[in-house]
Amino acid sequence: MENIVLASRSTYRSQILGKLPLTFTSCASSVDETPYPNELPRDLAVRLSITKAHAVAQQYPNHLIIGSDQVAACGDILLGKPGNRTNALQQLMVQSGKKASFYTGICVLDSRRGIFKTDLDVCHVYFKNLNEDQLNRYLDREQPYECAGSFKSEGFGIALFSKIEGEDPNALVGLPLIKLIELLNQFGVAIP
């Protein structure tokens, strides 16, 4: 079995990757996540997943490195991690009654050979029409200030949605396992 590194300290991504029969190390990857001018959310997600994988390659020169990044958008508005309650409420109010799209880029880098492969998962979340009182009750309960889009779909955030469209329920939380397994298979990691 290859030495595998998850280029992230995200507990959510680690928990998802832990569903697979793999031994892996997690390593933070400090990269500038600023979008390029006119960069589409899908392109940003893939670029950042590649950048994160490469950012830890020098520390792990003989490994398969998994980089992943998620970019959320509601129409033309990018939805980052809100950081605080005020920003979270604002983001949720923007999404009320609308569709938000979550683009999760995934990259597997063989740091020994310098070869990498990427993929992209797209998930659409349809929000109920919600008023400020409902959103405040949600924020009181979950405080999702470090989550893109200001909700936790794996928690009480599911109550905010009318439906979710996507191929992989793990992708919305931050790591598309279906696409990751396919990429790992291409590098000779047999799952299942």
Q: Which residues are part of the catalytic machinery?
A: 69
Q: What are phi and psi of 4, to 5 degrees?
A: -115, 135
Nearest to 146 by CA among 137, 155, 123: 155
Rounded Cα distance between 58 and 131, Å, is 48
Tokens of 133: 């009182």
Strands (E), 111-173: 115-127, 161-165
- The residue behind tokens 């129409």 is 75
Give residues with Cβ within 8 angstroms of 83, minimum separation 6: 145, 146
Q: Which residues contact 160 (CB under 8 A, 6 or more apart)?
A: 92, 127, 128, 130, 138, 151
What backbone phi and psi angles, to 5 degrees, belong to 171?
-60, -40
